[in-house]
Amino acid sequence: MASAPTSPAGRSSSRKTPIADYVETAGKRRKEHRAGHGMQPGYPARAAAALIDALRAALDAWEDGSRSIDFTD
């Protein structure tokens, strides 16, 4: 599966005052996230376009299927 730059390590993952009991575990992971934030490979716009295309295709198939069972009279 491809990846794309997002914001999981952005502002939403930061904490002004770290909890001392978690510095060695979650604190270490937060530092790793910050180090790679914004460096993920991929193209978010291209990913969004692919998702929109897939959604349109699914909706078209759903519409065709639902119309095929309509009343005919």
Domain ranges of the chain: 8-41, 43-73
Pairwise CA distance, residues 15 & 3, whole Å: 25
13 CB burial (10 A radius; 0-12, 13-18, 19+): middle
11 or 53, greater pLDDT = 53
pTM as predicted: 0.41
Predicted local confidence at residue 3, as pLDDT: 59
33 to 2, 9, 44, 45, 67: CA distances (angstroms): 18, 5, 19, 22, 48
11-20, 28-37, 46-55, range with the lowest pLDDT: 11-20
Pairwise CA distance, residues 30 & 1, whole Å: 23
